[in-house]
Amino acid sequence: MARVVVIGAGLAGLASAVRLAKLGHQVTVCERGQHLGGVLGRVEADGFSWDAGAASTTLPAALRDLFRKSGRPIESLVQLEPVTEPRRHMFGDGSVLDLPVGDRGAQEAAWTDLADQKTAKQWTALVDGYGETWQILRKTSLEPPLHDKLSLSAVRSLKPWQSLDKVANRELDDDRARAVLRHFAAQGGSDAKLTPGYVGVWSYLERTFGRWTIAGGFGALADALAQRASERKINVRTGAEVVGVSTTDGSVTGVRLADATELPADIVVSDIDPRLLYTELLDDPAAKKMRKKVLSTHQAQAAYVVHLGLQEPLPSLPFETVLHGTPTVVVRTAGQAPAGHQAWSVLVHGYPTDDVLDLLVARGLHIRDKVVSRQTSPSWWAGVAWEGYKTARRRASNVSPVKGLYCVGAGAHPGSGVPATTLGAAIVADAIGKA
């Protein structure tokens, strides 16, 4: 049995903790705030409730595996529900695309109705082609730690030097189809011109595995993980800020808290910004190369999120609507609201120079006089921005060169988002193994 300290109680930190506890380790979680779950939290005010960050995910198997490998199935605590409504795309020319999620034929029909059969076939062929990309990434990056060197055949298939913007321009003739593909970069806080083309694989994952949400919102997932942590007898310490990771001869020995408490540890799992970990919390010669690597990265641009409590009647919107333009605006309608009201979350991807309500009105959503509550989500660590394909190797490795130190979360391999951070926790648990 190893003594494990997990720094940070975001999704990846909690996922690592419950997996490791199930493997027989003695686990303590240190969270500097008072709430667990990170971006899985809720914002509540005036009778409304909104997801603070994540509101849906693809790859539901990643969450199912997390709960199965840490105890009982996820359905024993929360219910995963498919998002059955198409994602709406509203373009600057006034056209609207309701693009189904999880249905190849329905996607092709939607593109045919909006544009023409040629555009529909181009989109379908592009997404079909990402099937091979998915298999390569799954085997080389998403399930194991990132391979030191990919095979030549894998590199030729992935073509990492091609940007998502270049793929969109080459494979798609319709500007609206290009905008939809580029959105997979924008939603991760990156520029499509600097994002590898293989990131478009998320279009294939959504079409193949669908998009899923949690009954009651993703805040319920944070509650479920907190309950699983309690079931696994994990020592969860809130208000416990870690200010140092102690090492001896290149191996971790514990962590230091802001109140001067020393917690001994054989293993430390970090779910915080790796740049903070390697520059401010850790001072060990073995970390020199990793420190240089993570410092060469830059933070992805977190969406600016405003939550609106609105009085009906309102425009009828699906679960998620993307308003293309500069900046891109995403509206989610799945919050909890009193009778006769709705709870919308508005995410602005880019640098907003106008008020959120002005942006909505300019895109055709005239809801200014319907607002009865307005709240803003706290900012969060959004992970690493794509700056070319080499960024993948500049993220913090799951297994650190410092013995006993591991990294998970948005700044570590395999990246940000619910599926990636959950898979990263699985990689770390497998690397540590049973007690």
Residue that is last in its domain, among 179, 210, 241: 210
Residues 200 and 222 grouped into a single domain = no
Residue type, 345: S
pLDDT score for 401: 95
Q: Are residues 223 and 288 in the same domain?
A: yes
282, 399: one domain: yes
Q: How far apart are CA 412 and CA 408, in angstroms?
A: 5
In a domain, 93, yes or no: no
Residues 405 and 292 in one domain: yes
Query: What's the mean pLDDT when you consider all of the chain?
Result: 95
CATH number of the domain at 402, please: 3.50.50.60
Co-location of 104 and 193 in the same domain: yes
Helix or strand run (H / E) with residue 4: strand 3-7
Domain final residue, candidates 160, 182, 210: 210
Task: Classify 409 in phi/psi space as left (phi over 0), alpha (psi -120 to 50) or beta.
Answer: left
Whether 295 and 287 have beta carbons less than 8 Å apart is answered as no
pLDDT in tens, 312-327: 999 999 999 999 999 9
Q: Same domain for 116 and 52?
A: no
**Number of folded domains that form the chain:** 3
| 94 found inside a domain | no
| Main-chain dihedrals φ then ψ at residue 156, nearest 5 degrees | -65, -35
Domain containing 357: what range?
304-376
What pTM was computed for the model? 0.95
Whether 264 is covered by a domain: the verdict is yes
Q: Both 131 and 74 in a single domain? A: no
Three-state SS for 331? strand
What's the confidence (pLDDT) of residue 302?
87
Q: What is the pLDDT of residues 85-142, one digit of tens each?
A: 999 999 999 999 999 999 999 999 999 999 999 999 999 999 999 999 999 999 988 8
Q: Quick one: 390 and 276 in the same domain?
A: yes
8 and 147 in one domain? no
Shared domain for 285 and 393, answered yes or no, is: yes
Residue 143 sits in a domain whose CATH number is: 1.10.405
Residues 289 and 390 both lie in one domain: yes
The stretch 278-296 carries a mean pLDDT of: 94
Picking from 205, 270, 244, the residue whose alpha carbon sits closest to that of residue 12 is 270
Mark out the alpha helices in 40-92 (DSSP H runs). Answer: 60-70
